[in-house]
Structure 1
Amino acid sequence: MPTTKKEEFYFGLMMCFGMVVFMTFYNLFTHGLLGSISVRGIFAQLLQIFIIATLLELFIVGPVAKKMAFSLPYDKSNKLYVILFLAFFMVSGMVLCMSLYGLGSAYFSNSLQGESLLGSYFTLVCQNFIFAFPLQLIIVGPLVRYAFIKLVKTTSFSGKTI
């Protein structure tokens, strides 16, 4: 787990990248757009969504999620509890925000086809949370923690291995 602001920044970037890649392909697949968008279009969307998600995570969702997770009464010395609560609040916040982004994209591309905005938003939030939370706990979270420890934590700022 990150211990400095610099490590937190790298960890956040790595986590955002992993979640954005999986969630983008999940949403393209669930909306039947995977075969209709070019590879260049997918990369453009990935970049745009990554930038938005990173800014949200760094400046809005991340700080709020940490405050909420650490304000609850549980044994904070147990790393598993810390990971579960942080993951829950981070995923919840990011799903709420990024589903709003997805709804806006669908609205401006006229792909809602007369559906209500509130109903569409609720559906998006449910679909995204159902996929994102297990994805975070089972795949992306462990992979990013492993990569973070191997790539970031084992190297000090002077470049020497600790």
Structure 2
Amino acid sequence: MPTNKKEGIIFTTLMCFSMVLGMSIYNLFLHGGFSFVALITGLIPGFIVAFILDVFVIGVLAKKIAFSLPLNKDNKLVMILTISCLMILGMVTCMSLFGVLIEGGIPNDLGGAYRHAWAMNIIVALPLQLIVVGPFSRAILGKIQTNAATAETAE
């Protein structure tokens, strides 16, 4: 986990970008419109919205809720999984609406389109985050922390 502001920004950026990339690829294939151009044009605004939500809304709420639950706060795995699951729920809830609206404006059946998008996104976002993106991002952060500690010791 990040130990300072710089590490927090790096970790959040890596996690957010990886999730938006993975979910963008999934949704483009799901809707039969995958192309590199479509990926890039959706990835950039998707990343910006997801990053803002992560840093200022969902991340704050997820951590606040996780630390208020009657869990063993000393167990890192329990806290990582709890925060990750809460983040996934929050981000899928918000980004599914973003996806529905960006795809073609407000549909006639916004509620139905949103529920369908949410259901289709949660089934991929959950394993993507818990099995791929989360461990990958934590491994990269661990390497950064190790390199920083090595550089600090060498000085």
Return the TM-score normalized by structure 1. Answer: 0.87
SS in 1 for 2:148: coil
CA offsets per residue over residues 72-114 of structure 1, 9 Å max, x none? 0011111110111001110011001100101111342x8x5x5
- 1:16 aligns to what? 16
- 1:42 aligns to what? 39
Deviation of the 1:48 alpha carbon: 1.6
Asked if residue 139 in structure 1 is aligned to residue 132 in structure 2, the reply is yes
Q: Which amino acid aligns with 2:4?
A: T
1:94 to 91, 95, 113: 91
Q: Structure 2: how far apart are the matches of 1:98 and 1:77?
A: 31
Uncovered stretches (5+) of structure 2, i.e. residues with no partner: none
CA offsets per residue over residues 2-41 of structure 1, 9 Å max, x none? 121221111110100110110000000111111xx4x233
Q: Which amino acid aligns with 2:48?
A: I
Q: Which amino acid aligns with 2:151?
A: K
The structure that is helix-richer by fraction is: 2
What RMSD over aligned residues (CA atoms) do the two structures have, in Å? 1.8
Asked if the contact 1:87–1:137 (Cα under 8 Å) also holds between the matched residues in 2, the reply is yes
Uncovered stretches (5+) of structure 1, i.e. residues with no partner: none
Identity of aligned residues (%): 43
Count of matched residue pairs: 153
Deviation of the 1:161 alpha carbon: 4.7
Deviation of the 1:155 alpha carbon: 3.7
